[in-house]
């Protein structure tokens, strides 16, 4: 990540004074490094991951007091404290750099929040200034499973063009239990992977992180990809492409189901917005203006591939849209055809039916649903 940050890319926006100044980067719970890795880590980094928008650069704006953070306070940064003035100052500072020679087009990712409060006026004004300047603003929805946190609730239920609250899914394409929810998500948001997401820490190691803080940079990275393809898009057009390309992954609360109710009588879209993001679909929609006659990639995909059991923990499988259903199985086979494991979900820990790690090599996975079959290969490295 080091070469992703320019000489002017480290600023501290003081939580009480509301000003931004040059600053030496601090650990701050690893939070900024981990979110940045998901959004924009470079390719071929020997760490099993690449950022969603691997060619993008990072502008780092710290809003936490030095005394309020440690280097190991948990994924969601719960030991860090910031206030609305500092957050607003950081947003305003970023907005002032839009279309500058050094930074060009910006996307703002805000991976923090506070439960139980309304959107602060000073933050709402700063976000409005940013979207008016042409910057999409992506905000984590929160991790308490309740109402959408502030400042993600600044998206509101009317308006909110270019403001994208983001909830979290797990590796089985279920909504994470901790993912905050509400009408703001239904009106303006999406969901993205947010449980045991692979990224980088301050030492350059591959780590797993959980929380909507780590779902949001998936969406911010996708917004950057869309702007790379369509640099004249407004924040509202970026948001429309992201939501329009979102995928119904066959569980309660996604995509077309947002107009219905769950078993408790709540709007399903409150849980998952327009659906789980699909970068390929959103980019196609942005570039072509339509998804008509588009079936998508019909291949099942394993990620990461190769799968390094010592560092990755699990490999996840993506089922093509045309085969997704409520009844599916994934079987792992050795190249000689011997069954290695029948999976209960969409992730594999690299173990066989006896609970032992398999040997290094190439394995075949067969995806079967009531709509058909597909297969692929995954390389395992121990």
**Amino acid 232: pLDDT:** 96
Residues above pLDDT 70, as percent of the chain: 80
279-288 helix and 235-244 helix, angle to the nearest 10 degrees: 130
* Confidence category of residue 9, pLDDT binned at 50, 70, 90: low
Q: pLDDT (tens digit, 9 = 90+) per residue, 241-251?
A: 999 999 875 44
Domains, the chain, ranges and CATH? Answer: 2-288 (3.40.50.200), 301-381 (2.60.40)
64: how many CB neighbours lie within 10 A of its CB? Answer: 22
Read out DSSP for 13-68?
E-TTT--EEE-----GGGHHHHHHHHHHPPSS-SSS---TTTT--EEEEE-S-GGG
- Cα atoms found within 13 Å of the Cα of residue 154, Cβ hemisphere only: 29
Q: Which residues contact 48 (CB under 8 A, 6 or more apart)?
A: 198, 206, 304, 308, 311, 312
pLDDT surpasses 80 at 273? yes
Determine contact, residues 279/222, Cβ cutoff 8 Å: yes
Q: pLDDT (tens digit, 9 = 90+) per residue, 91-120?
A: 999 999 999 998 899 999 999 988 878 999
**Amino acid 314: pLDDT:** 84
**Amino acid 356: pLDDT:** 93
pLDDT surpasses 70 at 18? no
Q: pLDDT (tens digit, 9 = 90+) per residue, 213-264?
A: 999 999 999 999 999 999 999 999 999 999 999 987 544 434 334 334 444 5
**Amino acid 49: pLDDT:** 82
User: Exposed, middle or buried by CB within 10 Å (0-12, 13-18, 19+), for 177?
Assistant: exposed
**Amino acid 266: pLDDT:** 47
Q: Which residues contact 163 (CB under 8 A, 6 or more apart)?
A: 127, 131, 136, 137, 139, 154, 155, 156, 188, 235, 239
CA dihedral of residues 243, 104, 95, 77 (deg, nearest 10): 70
Q: pLDDT (tens digit, 9 = 90+) per residue, 128-179?
A: 999 999 999 999 999 998 899 999 999 987 778 999 999 999 877 788 989 9
- Cα atoms found within 13 Å of the Cα of residue 89, Cβ hemisphere only: 20
Region 52-68: mean pLDDT is 82
**Long-range contacts, stretch 121-125, CB < 8 angstroms, 24+ apart:** 122/84, 122/85, 122/88, 123/84, 123/87, 123/88, 123/91, 123/150, 123/151, 123/154, 124/151, 124/154, 125/88
**Amino acid 258: pLDDT:** 39
**Distance of alpha carbon 178 from alpha carbon 124, whole angstroms:** 25
Q: pLDDT (tens digit, 9 = 90+) per residue, 308-340?
A: 887 777 888 877 767 777 677 899 999 889 999
Between 358 and 201, the higher pLDDT residue: 358
298: how many CB neighbours lie within 10 A of its CB? Answer: 11
Region 76-81: mean pLDDT is 57
Global pTM value: 0.77
**Amino acid 274: pLDDT:** 86
- Conformation bin of residue 135: beta by default, left when phi > 0, alpha when psi is -120 to 50: beta
* Cα–Cα distance list, 347 to 66, 189, 329 (Å): 38, 26, 11
Q: How much is the CA Rg of the chain, to the nearest whole Å?
A: 20
Average pLDDT score, the chain: 83
**Amino acid 29: pLDDT:** 64
**Amino acid 162: pLDDT:** 95
212-229 helix and 31-40 helix, angle to the nearest 10 degrees: 40
């Amino acid at each position: 990540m080091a070469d992703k940050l320019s000489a002017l890319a480290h600023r501290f926006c003081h939580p009480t004074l509301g000003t931004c100044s040059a600053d030496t980067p601090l650990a701050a719970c690893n939070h900024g490094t981990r979110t940045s890795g998901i959004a924009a880590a470079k390719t071929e980094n020997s760490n099993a991951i690449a950022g969603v928008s691997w060619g993008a650069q990072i502008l780092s704006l710290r809003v936490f007091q030095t005394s309020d953070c440690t280097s190991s306070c948990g994924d969601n940064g719960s030991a860090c404290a910031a206030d609305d003035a500092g957050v607003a100052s950081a947003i305003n500072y970023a907005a002032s750099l839009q279309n500058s020679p050094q930074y060009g087009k910006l996307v703002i990712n805000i991976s923090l929040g506070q439960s139980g409060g309304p959107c602060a006026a000073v933050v709402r004004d700063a976000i409005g200034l940013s979207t008016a300047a042409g910057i999409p603003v992506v905000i984590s929805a929160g991790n308490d499973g309740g109402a959408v946190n502030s400042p993600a609730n600044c998206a509101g239920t009317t308006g909110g063009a270019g403001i994208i609250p983001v909830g979290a899914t797990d590796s089985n394409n279920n909504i994470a239990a901790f993912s905050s929810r509400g009408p703001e998500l239904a009106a303006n948001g999406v969901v993205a992977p947010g449980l045991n997401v692979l990224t980088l820490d301050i030492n350059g190691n591959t780590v797993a992180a959980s929380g909507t803080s780590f779902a949001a940079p998936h969406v911010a990275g996708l917004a950057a990809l869309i702007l790379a393809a369509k640099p004249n898009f407004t924040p509202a057009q970026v948001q429309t492409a992201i939501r329009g390309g979102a995928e119904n992954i066959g569980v309660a609360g996604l995509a077309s189901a947002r107009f219905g109710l769950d078993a408790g009588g709540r709007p399903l879209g409150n849980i998952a917005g327009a659906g789980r993001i699909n970068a390929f679909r959103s980019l196609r929609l942005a570039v072509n203006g339509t998804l008509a006659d588009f079936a998508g990639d019909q291949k099942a995909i394993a990620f990461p591939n190769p799968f390094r059991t010592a560092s990755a923990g699990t490999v996840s499988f993506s089922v093509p849209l045309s085969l997704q259903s409520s009844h599916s199985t994934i079987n792992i086979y050795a190249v000689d055809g011997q069954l290695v494991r029948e999976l209960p979900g969409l992730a594999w820990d690299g173990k066989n039916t006896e609970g032992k790690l398999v040997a290094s090599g190439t394995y075949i996975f067969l995806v079967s649903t009531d709509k058909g079959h597909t297969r692929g290969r995954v390389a395992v490295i121990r």
